[in-house]
Structure 1
Amino acid sequence: MSRAIVISIDSLFTSDINHIKDLPNFKKILEGSSIVKNIDCVYPTLTYPCHTSIITGVYPDKHGISHNEKLMPETNSPDWYWYSKDIRTETIIDIAKENNLKTSTILWPVTGGCNSDYNIAEIWTKTKDEDPFQVFNDSCTKELMEKIYPKHSHIIKWNTEPHLDEFGVCCAEDIIREYKPDIMFIHLAYLDHTRHKYGLMNDKVISSFEKYDEWLGRLINALDEAEVYNYTNFIILGDHGQLEVDKVVCPNIILRENNLIELDKDGNLIDFKAIFKSAGKSAHLIIKDSDNRVEIDKIVSEMINDNVLGIERIINKEELKTQHRLDCEAEFVIEGCEGVAFSNSYVGDIVKKVDNTNYKYSLATHGHLPSKGDKPPFIAKGPDIKENTIIDGGNLVDEAPTIMKIFNIEMKDIDGKVLKILK
């Protein structure tokens, strides 16, 4: 009879528990719950690598999702890693299906086209004026596209929040009532968007917690109406922290000035020999032409000695693999100093002001080393969870095997271990 609903609150910090504990629906879950504080994330601390580790139990060097976005330097709107085919390893969804559990995924990253029984993928169109139907239809469960998507699609306003989350919660309510999945994963990004735009902690952030409490109450009510609430284990988790940004640095301008990036007369990319791909508080250096390696190494070495650029350290490919379990297309990663984020810009000033048009270099952002800043919690409450157990420290890769253990399923060949919060 065991069931679970996993609610990911993007950018939820352990310290946020102090702000949500007295809200009525959070209070219902938090009282008597088990909490693992200060979960260590993966590098880079971006939503898609983190969420893929959450549902695979392995680090990015194994699952293959090293960034939110694909390398498409010719456009300002690159594709994200929306589709499950990009994950190299088995996921909780696969394992649950193999064990005859009914699964549902709602706005969970990297689930487009996955084999969840009831899937509403996180995806959006290239531009805000396009009809989102086709991208959802190509990514989601056909039955839901026929029965549930039409009821709520009017809520969607491209990828803006809280509209996308509201759409997801509406879909989740219907799916719970009609299909009663054994395990549901839902990802809600409003808090993350709010922190990007307004900073780590302010009135806007506090009011977003109240919206989350409303959404939680609606999910609780749907479970109650479906007569499965008493059998359901609640998991509420975060994926990464955030850090404040004071200035935005554009390392690609330096590469362009050294003839490693070629632009047309309008500033559009023609070709590159090396290019930086921003991950917010860090940036990946991709080298296309290895013949220029000596020159590139020299330029990057000079960059770290320029205090204006705010580069804290350079992490080479071997260090990425051995120290941070990241195996990707980058030859180097540059990590920003306090207050520094990195832009993909090719033109203009090398140092720019904060820009809220992009999450990577807004007022607060992430993509930093997991050792920095606030860390997320893993909160669990339900019939299969110990009561009032507090643990300080765990890893994102521990979350998948812990969730599966609720169903007495052991995951094999993974990096994580079961957290000691289960009965």
Structure 2
Amino acid sequence: MPHKLLVVSVDAMHHDDLPFARTLPAFSRILEQAAVAEIEGVYPSVTYPNHTAQTTGCPPARTGIFNNLQFQPGRGDASEWFWDARAIRVPTIFEAAHAAGLTVAAVQWPVTANERHVDWLVPEIASPQVFDGLEDQYRRTTNAASLERYVLPNLHLVDVTGRKPRYYAFVNHVAEQILRHERPDVMFVHLVEVDSARHAGGAHGPHVEQALREVDATLGTFLDALADTGDLGRTNIVLVSDHGHLDTEQHTNLNTIFVERGLVRLDEAGRLLDYDVLCLGAGLSGQLFLAEGITPGRRAEVEALLAEIEATPEYRIERIWTAEETARAHGLDGPFDYVVESEPGVVVGMLWDRRPVVRRGDDDFPPVLGNHGHAPRHGGQPLFVATGPDIAPGIDLGRRSMLDEAPTFAALLGVDLPHAEGTVLHELLTARPLPV
């Protein structure tokens, strides 16, 4: 049997955070003998496409997870996220591990709801509006054993006092309990404290260090659980992250512009009637959808406006790609027609009840000071940190692709992931594990 594998995603942790992380007790224990790499994520640099790349080794054009949000015209930022695992179009590491007879756990990992290849499943649900409360969302998205043993007894740990539930305490406790009591062969956990801090306070600062301290405390409980069960010495531990953050400087609200030019039409209450072109935001980028059956004349109007937007300095739109271009350059494709790449720090807005351009310092600037979704070449980069019995200590792998992570997980487990486009990071393996 292969050694165990624990993968912890510290959402939005930068490679540049490692020096501070080395000053913290649990991080320092992991980093002491670790192999490290700086990772180039997939485009757009948002959570769900990148976490799906981490479990498949495939880009959005193949996984089908091209954004956090699904395209649901008229619903804006209330659109559903890609929360259901059945939306993924290629095999995952969960499926490969399960087929090999390994026990699999996933806590708060994106796009895992109804994932039938995970034995101990606590999925991330970012669309609570779809369900009738917390209990209903888990009854409809996980298996009976996970629900009864870990979800229902701990739902009181979910903080429901804000606009959206906060799952920190729930996730941290449940993950530790599963690790301790079920001792799965493979476990994936998603921690979001650092991402929340960077959204609220900007890309850098004491608020980020505090969030890293909170994550460190959670990592400490994981290490203690592994030590207490005797599994620490036979577990490969990998810390990953999904994207960086940039300080938010401006919102360019494209749907507002489309409304002003008559390419999006609203009723008297401001609700969507129909559209020729509509923007789905992805933070610091966006995706544009043309109406089905759009006439050549209307399409020409849209294309003329897009050229004007691209050429207008105040909008700060760096480039508008066709989907064919992003598919070739970034592995990004989907049911959209164009991809909008803004200048770093500029949100590509999809609401139509705001001014076309809102700048930081304006009274109506939204209270989110950090964001992502930008082309992955900008800003702080995600990380990959690995330590354990099958990991060569102290290696710096330089800059690698996020698509290489899933094949490397598969190699550590001795399973096959033939659909993956990435390659195994052989340099970090002490010896390639044998198939199960």
User: What band does the TM-score fall into relative to the shorter chain?
Assistant: over 0.9
Q: 1:110 matched to which residue of 2?
A: 111
Q: 2:369 matched to which residue of 1?
A: 363
Listed one character per residue, the Cα deviations across residues 86-145 of structure 1 (whole Å, up to 9, x for unaligned) are 000000000001111100000000000002011100004545996211111111221121
Amino acid at match of 2:242: D
Mapping 1:196-345, distance limit 5 Å: 196-289=199-292, 290-291=294-295, 292-345=298-351
- Tell me the CA shift for residue 220 of structure 1: 1.0
Q: 1:406 matched to which residue of 2?
A: 412
Q: Which moved more, 1:177-186 or 1:163-172?
A: 163-172
- Asked if residue 422 in structure 1 is aligned to residue 424 in structure 2, the reply is no
Q: Which moved more, 1:25-34 or 1:170-179?
A: 170-179
Structure 2 Cα separation of the partners of residues 113 and 408 of structure 1: 25
Q: Which moved more, 1:343-352 or 1:15-24?
A: 343-352
Structure 2 Cα separation of the partners of residues 81 and 331 of structure 1: 19
- Tell me the CA shift for residue 353 of structure 1: 4.4
Q: Which runs of 4+ in 1 moved over 3 A?
A: 124-130, 158-163
Structure 1 Cα separation of the partners of residues 61 and 409 of structure 2: 22
- Tell me the CA shift for residue 66 of structure 1: 0.1
Amino acid at match of 1:96: A
Residues 354, 361 of structure 1: 8 Å contact kept: no
Residues 125, 132 of structure 1: 8 Å contact kept: no
- CA 1:83/1:361 → structure 2, altered by over 3 Å: closer, same or farther? farther
- CA 1:78/1:162 → structure 2, altered by over 3 Å: closer, same or farther? closer
- Tell me the CA shift for residue 196 of structure 1: 0.7
Mapping 1:3-402, distance limit 5 Å: 3-36=4-37, 38-75=38-75, 76-115=77-116, 116-127=118-129, 131-158=133-160, 163-289=166-292, 290-291=294-295, 292-353=298-359, 362-402=368-408
- CA 1:362/1:69 → structure 2, altered by over 3 Å: closer, same or farther? same
Structure 2 Cα separation of the partners of residues 325 and 362 of structure 1: 29
- CA 1:363/1:179 → structure 2, altered by over 3 Å: closer, same or farther? same
Residues 83, 126 of structure 2: 8 Å contact kept: no
Structure 1 Cα separation of the partners of residues 80 and 44 of structure 2: 18
Unpaired stretches in structure 2, ≥5 consecutive residues: 431-436
- Tell me the CA shift for residue 398 of structure 1: 0.3
Structure 1 Cα separation of the partners of residues 174 and 164 of structure 2: 16
Amino acid at match of 1:327: D
Residues 280, 366 of structure 1: 8 Å contact kept: yes
Q: Secondary structure at the match of 1:45?
A: coil
Q: Secondary structure at the match of 2:207?
A: helix
Residues 30, 379 of structure 1: 8 Å contact kept: yes
Q: Which moved more, 1:169-178 or 1:88-97?
A: 169-178
Structure 2 Cα separation of the partners of residues 48 and 188 of structure 1: 13
- Tell me the CA shift for residue 314 of structure 1: 1.1
Q: Secondary structure at the match of 2:174?
A: helix
Structure 1 Cα separation of the partners of residues 316 and 396 of structure 2: 38
Structure 2 Cα separation of the partners of residues 94 and 339 of structure 1: 37
Q: Secondary structure at the match of 1:153?
A: helix
Residues 176, 226 of structure 1: 8 Å contact kept: no
- Tell me the CA shift for residue 227 of structure 1: 2.3
Structure 1 Cα separation of the partners of residues 159 and 119 of structure 2: 26
- Tell me the CA shift for residue 173 of structure 1: 1.5
Residues 11, 239 of structure 1: 8 Å contact kept: yes
Q: Given the two structures, how large is their TM-score scaled by the length of structure 2?
A: 0.92
- Tell me the CA shift for residue 329 of structure 1: 1.6
May I ask how many residue pairs the two structures share in their alignment?
418
Q: Given the two structures, how large is their TM-score scaled by the length of structure 1?
A: 0.95
Residues 6, 237 of structure 2: 8 Å contact kept: yes
Amino acid at match of 1:134: D
Structure 1 Cα separation of the partners of residues 341 and 403 of structure 2: 23
Residues 91, 419 of structure 2: 8 Å contact kept: no
- CA 1:103/1:25 → structure 2, altered by over 3 Å: closer, same or farther? same
Listed one character per residue, the Cα deviations across residues 143-163 of structure 1 (whole Å, up to 9, x for unaligned) are 121121122111213588994
- Tell me the CA shift for residue 369 of structure 1: 0.8
Listed one character per residue, the Cα deviations across residues 32-85 of structure 1 (whole Å, up to 9, x for unaligned) are 11111x211101111000000000011111111000011123224111000110
Q: Secondary structure at the match of 1:308?
A: helix
- CA 1:161/1:374 → structure 2, altered by over 3 Å: closer, same or farther? farther
Unpaired stretches in structure 1, ≥5 consecutive residues: none
